Amino acid sequence: MATEEKLQRSLFNEVMVPCYAPMDIIPVRGQGSRLWDQQQREYIDFAGGIAVSCLGHCHPVMVTALTEQAQKLWHLSNVMTNEPALRLADKLTQLTFADKVFFANSGAEANEAALKLARRYAVDNFSADKDQIIAFHHGFHGRTFFTVTVGGQSTYSDGFGPKPQAVTHLPYNDLAAIAELMSDKTCAVMMEPLQGEGGIISPTIEFVQGVRELCDKHHALLIFDEVQTGNGRTGDLFAYQGLGVTPDILTTAKSLGGGFPVAAMLTTTALAAHLKVGTHGSTYGGNPLACAVAEAVINTISQPAVLAGVKQREQWFREGLMQINRRYPIFSEIRGKGLLLGAVLCPQWQGRARDILVAAGKEGVMVLVAGTDVVRFTPSLVIDKKDIDEGMQRLEAAISTLYNAHSEL
């Protein structure tokens, strides 16, 4: 049993699998967009647990939903259903194109379900030879072996033995490339409607529309991975709604539970029929606690005022970052949409995104990276302007220190 003195960052190295490299600080309390560590030092949270904490920390609607449900029912097997799962599924179908919902625990599991459904649909309606999945370079779809293979970053999938087959990667936003490759052997195209981990890359409308048309032409399914873009993150409830292109399957997680693990795959009645009883499942999928919290989250962020507020906050973030950049020009552009934003480093600063993350942490503001050249911001969708302003001041202090040290070299 660890002693109180050992509950520090050093204990991580003793007891945890070393697939993470966490910062030295250990937060112990959060409220809104602020966190406090073991020494009661305060931090402003521009990271949101990587686009998860969409209502900040310990939002009253989430706390109430969780504590009320905790007094009622925690878990059932999927031999039975439960009221929170039914309410959440009903709400999601009301708010989207979908007729049917499958619940899981993480974005990777939702994406695994989507890919299995696409393959099963092709087998049932065409043949086992219609198995090609097209995805895109720099995409990210999860850490299961199937999803990490479909993701377009080989550093995450190499070194684990033979990979799932019939997966092809193409450049994002290159419609000509997909038009040349796609055929009647293609069963699905999987894409993020705004690439997150790959560097905050937005698609062109022409690209998304063209992919939809190619999928229709070749009887392939279009899967939108909205694990990161969904649930209000871009200023629309789901990013596809702002693009005007409807997928066949949509996956979502991260912000869906506001910090409580929950995910969903959404699709149509016709497609859902191909996952018959026993073909797929999840022990914790549709958990009453998770669904109760997610229902409270969706009820809150689907309000027009909240979604409009995301677009307003995007402008506040852009203005703050550009003000910093005028004094310390290290960014070449600000990319993204809503509160999924990336500040791209200038050529002379490329490779130093993590340096900025660490320096920002020392100044009391939490940011993210998207690769080595992009500083990423995914804060609460309801973050106060005073928190944005103060966080920008702290970020500027961090960048000032790095900039002045860089100038002296």
Say if residue 112 carries a ligand binding annotation: no
Is 225 a known ligand-binding residue? yes
Q: How far apart are CA 232 and CA 299, in angstroms?
A: 11
**Which DSSP string corresponds to 268-296?**
-HHHHTTS-TTSS--SSTT-HHHHHHHHH
> CATH 3.40.640.10 spans which residues of the chain?
73-301
Name the segment(s) of the chain with CATH classification 3.90.1150.10: 4-58+304-407
pLDDT higher than threshold 50 for residue 289: yes
Q: What is the mean pLDDT of the chain?
A: 96
Is 283 annotated as ligand-binding?
yes
* Annotated binding residue 108: yes
How do residues 164-201 score in pLDDT, each as one tens digit?
A: 999 999 999 999 999 999 999 999 999 999 999 999 99
Tell me what pLDDT residue 408 has: 63
Looking at residue 409, what is its pLDDT?
55
pLDDT tens-digit readout, 337-353: 999 999 999 999 999 99
Q: Is 226 annotated as a binding residue?
A: yes
Model confidence band, residue 42 (pLDDT cutoffs 50, 70, 90): very high
Residue 1 has pLDDT above 50, yes or no: no
Q: What tokens appear for 7 in the block? A: 């509950």
Indicate which residues carry an active-site annotation: 140, 225, 254
Compute the average pLDDT of residues 83-87: 98
Q: Look up the CATH number of domain 73-301.
A: 3.40.640.10
107 is in an annotated binding site: yes
Both structure tokens of 376: 């990423």
Tell whether 251 is in a known binding site.
no
pLDDT at 6: 56
d(CA 269, CA 64): 33
Q: For 253-286, what is each residue's pLDDT tens digit?
A: 999 999 999 999 999 999 999 999 999 999 999 9
pTM exceeding the 0.85 threshold for the entire prediction: yes
Domain 4-58+304-407 CATH class label = alpha beta
Does the pLDDT at position 3 exceed 50? no
The end-to-end CA distance of the chain, in Å, is 48
